[in-house]
Amino acid sequence: MFWVKVHRIKDHIVAAVCDEELIDKKLDFDGIIFHLNRKFYGGEIVDKEKVTKILENCTIGNLVGNNIIDLAIEKKYIDKNNIISINGVPHAQFIK
């Protein structure tokens, strides 16, 4: 399961997605705190099928967590070379 929130910014549809267990976690990225807060990621909890449809329709994706990253690689939204690790948690973004 995934937390996902869709943001509409001008002509873009941004899908902010994180694995369910990561919501409200704070990760340290070289002294910068990366907060997976509900305001940005906490729209609704969805399953693999629904998050796949959301990713198909968005123009920008912001993805955090092993499960969503694996799915995004499988669906070819991201490449393994474009993933960073924040405290061992994978993070990637894509733009269509």
CATH number for the domain harbouring residue 47: 3.30.1860.10
Residue-range definition of the domain harbouring residue 8: 2-95
The whole-angstrom separation of Cα 13 and Cα 61 is 9
pLDDT tens track for 9-55 = 999 999 999 999 999 999 998 888 999 999 999 999 999 999 999 99
| Burial of 10: CB neighbours in 10 Å, binned 0-12, 13-18, 19+ | exposed
In the chain, how many domains are there? 1
Sheet of 60-64, strands arranged across: 44-46, 2-9, 12-19, 60-64, 89-95, 84-86
- The pLDDT of residue 30: 85
The percent of residues above 90 in pLDDT, for the chain, comes to: 95
Mean pLDDT across 49-78: 97
Mean pLDDT across 75-84: 95
The pTM assigned to this predicted structure is 0.94
Q: How many C-beta atoms surround the C-beta of residue 86 within 10 A?
A: 15
